[in-house]
Amino acid sequence: MEKFGKRSQSPIILIAFVSFYFCIQPVHGRPGKSSVKEDGSYWEMLGKKDLQKAINTKRYEGVAKNVIFFVGDGMGVPTHTMARIYKGQKKGESGEEESLAWEDFPFTGLMKTYNTDKQVPDSAGTATALFSGVKTRSGMLGLDQQARYNVCDTAAIEAATVESIADWGAQSGKEVGIVSTARITHATPAAMYSHSPLRDWEADSNLP
C-alpha cells in the first residue's frame, strides 16, 4: 500500500481500486420469475417495500471517522447491469431481478461522465474528476484544462494543479493510503496523487 502524508493516529482515508467482480457479494435478491407471480400486486408490494426502506433510513449528520473510496475502474452502467444479470443467472434465475451489494446501500446516485474535450472519456480525466471534483481534458492527471495536453510546461502545470481528496485528508492530519490492483502509476490511482499533462509519463524514461 502506498502511503503519504503526516503519520499519526488520526482516522484513515483509504482509496482502493478494484475490479467489479470483487463486489458481487451474496445479498438478498428479489425472487426469480420461477417462484413468484409477478402481477400488479407483486410490483406494488416491492414499491412499498423500497419506499418504506427509504423512509426508515437513518441519517448521519456527524463527521465521518474514516473514508474508503472504492473505484471499479471502467464500471459504467452497462457493466453494472451485466454483473447484476450474471449474478442472478448463476443462481438459476433470469438475472434482471437480482441486486448487487451496493444497490442495497442507503444512499446511491449517478454522475455524468465525460472529459472537457471529449464525450467518450478516459480514466485519467474521469479519475481526476472523481478525486478532486474538477473535470479536465482526456489523458491528463490532477490538472484542470488550463494545462495543455502532452506539453511539459512547468509554469502551466503549476497553475493548473488541483488538489485531491488524498491531499485534503493529509492536510487534515489523516493517514492516507492507496491500494490498487493495477500498477500504482496507472491512470486511475495516479489521479489521486500526480499532476501530469499526459497519463503515459509513468517514469522518467517516458518524459519528452
Active site residues: 123
CB within 8 A of 154, min separation 6: which ones?
A: none
User: What secondary structure letter does DSSP report for 112?
Assistant: -
* Residue labelled with grid coordinates 484542470: 144
Tell me the C-alpha distance between 184 and 97, whole Å: 37
User: What secondary structure letter does DSSP report for 103?
Assistant: G
Tell me the C-alpha distance between 3 and 159, whole Å: 26
CA-CA distances (angstroms) from residue 136 to 120, 171, 197? 13, 23, 10
Tell me the C-alpha distance between 199 and 188, whole Å: 9
First to last CA, the chain: 29
Q: How would you class 202 by CB atoms within 10 Å of its CB: exposed for 0-12, middle for 13-18, buried for 19 or more?
A: middle
